[in-house]
């Protein structure tokens, strides 16, 4: 049975690929993007099964207005996909205050507001599914992506808590965690002026790997979108969906390292309770 979707960040990358694949199989999509015109050919092809609206997720009032309007027009949204985002690429010290603020406003606060805007409508209709596009970077870290990681770790914590809050209303969440994929993501990086002091550090190594294109990118966005689409038919919803061998390997290694470190602190943790 066909579904109705609301998706942010549809002009490129996974959002664009997902929109195209959903329309091709017969679903309806309400697609938002910052720059109009990118989906004109799809509008011409699919007509009223595609609803397109300009939206900057950093505009909280606009987020709530657009979400409310699409629910009012279409009556029901089965799946909400919070996908809009980008990355500031540079050492944490290199970014200026505006870059820091905009990164957080887009990836973290923007995603929070999309979810908050959708919840009352999903609750009234008796439930639904929310897919929050995070990243393997919501559980792992790379040098030069410190600000990006701050937003992805932040949104994962938000989703984990909100999922518990709204479970009684039949609203389920999945955190989508793709690894590096051939989506053109690197082309959208915002890069602060580099500081020479980082040239011979892991941050400098990462910068050179991207510039020289020696950083491995193994993920296939078409296959990733296929799994995202399949995930909404699983019940209960998977809380996390790791996509790509790099995502699996990196997340597994990070979790193993963290669990080993925690086990090594067990005696310290147990020794700091109040005396019984």
Output the domain CATH number for residue 241: 3.40.50.720
Asked if residue 64 is part of any domain, the answer here is yes
Percent of the chain with pLDDT over 90: 91
134 is catalytic: yes
Q: Which of 3, 111, 146, 152 is catalytic?
A: 152
Structure tokens at 159: 């989703």
In the predicted structure, residue 90 carries a pLDDT above the cut 80: yes
The answer to whether 78 and 3 have CB atoms below 8 angstroms apart is yes
Length of the chain: 276
**In angstroms, rounded to a whole number, what is the distance separating the alpha carbons of residues 48 and 174?**
28
In the predicted structure, residue 276 carries a pLDDT above the cut 90: no
pLDDT in tens, 217-234: 899 999 999 999 999 999
Residue ranges of E strands in 74-170:
79-82, 128-133
Asked if residue 276 is part of any domain, the answer here is no
Give me the pLDDT at residue 210, please: 83
pLDDT band at 183 (very low <50, low <70, confident <90, very high): confident
Q: Which of 82, 111, 134, 146 is catalytic?
A: 134
Cα angle, residue 90 at apex, residues 89 and 95 outer, rounded to 5°: 105
3 is catalytic: no
Asked if residue 275 is part of any domain, the answer here is no
Using alpha carbons, select from 37, 18, 35 the residue that is nearest to residue 27: 18
In the predicted structure, residue 184 carries a pLDDT above the cut 80: no
Structure tokens at 250: 């990196």
Asked if residue 255 is part of any domain, the answer here is yes
Give me the pLDDT at residue 182, please: 84
Asked if residue 103 is part of any domain, the answer here is yes
Asked if residue 91 is part of any domain, the answer here is yes
In the Cβ-directed half-sphere of 30, how many Cα atoms lie within 13 Å? 22
pLDDT band at 266 (very low <50, low <70, confident <90, very high): very high
Instruction: Provide the 8-state DSSP code for 10.
Output: -
The mean predicted confidence, pLDDT, of the chain is 96
Give me the pLDDT at residue 9, please: 96
pTM assigned to the model: 0.95
Q: Which residue has the higher pLDDT, 180 or 18?
A: 18
Average the pLDDT over each of 8-12, 49-53, 100-104, 215-219 and give the range with the smallest value: 215-219
Q: Residue 65 is part of which domain span?
A: 4-270
Q: Which of 82, 111, 135, 148 is catalytic?
A: 148
The answer to whether 41 and 19 have CB atoms below 8 angstroms apart is no
Asked if residue 235 is part of any domain, the answer here is yes
Structure tokens at 93: 């010290």
The answer to whether 7 and 51 have CB atoms below 8 angstroms apart is no
Please give the C-alpha separations between residue 216 and each of 139, 179, 181, 192, in angstroms, as whole numbers. Answer: 19, 10, 9, 23
Domain count, the chain: 1
Give me the pLDDT at residue 187, please: 78
């Amino acid at each position: 049975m066909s579904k109705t979707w609301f998706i942010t960040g549809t002009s490129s990358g996974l959002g664009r690929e997902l929109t195209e694949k959903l329309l091709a199989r017969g679903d309806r999509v309400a697609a938002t993007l910052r720059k109009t015109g990118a989906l004109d050919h799809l509008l011409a092809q699919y007509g009223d099964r595609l609803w397109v609206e300009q939206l900057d997720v950093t505009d909280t009032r606009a987020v709530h207005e657009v979400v409310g309007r699409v629910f009012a027009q279409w009556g029901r949204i089965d799946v909400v996909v919070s996908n809009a985002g980008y990355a500031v690429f540079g050492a944490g010290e290199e970014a200026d205050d505006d870059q820091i603020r905009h990164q957080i406003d887009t990836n973290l606060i923007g995603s929070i507001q999309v979810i908050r805007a959708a919840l009352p409508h999903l609750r009234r209709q008796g439930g639904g599914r929310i897919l929050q596009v995070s990243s393997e970077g919501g559980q792992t870290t790379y040098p030069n992506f410190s600000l990006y990681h701050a937003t992805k770790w932040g949104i994962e914590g938000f989703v984990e808590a909100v999922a518990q809050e709204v479970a009684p209303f039949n609203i389920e969440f999945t955190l989508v965690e793709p690894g590096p994929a051939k989506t053109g993501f690197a082309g959208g990086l915002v890069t602060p002026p580099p500081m020479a002091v980082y040239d011979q550090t892991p941050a400098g190594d990462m910068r050179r790997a991207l510039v020289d294109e020696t950083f491995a990118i193994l993920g296939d966005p078409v296959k990733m979108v296929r799994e995202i689409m399949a995930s909404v038919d699983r019940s209960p919803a998977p809380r996390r969906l790791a996509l790509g061998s790099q995502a699996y390997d990196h997340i597994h290694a990070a979790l193993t390292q963290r669990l080993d470190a925690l086990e090594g602190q067990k005696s310290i943790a147990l020794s700091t309770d109040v005396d019984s």
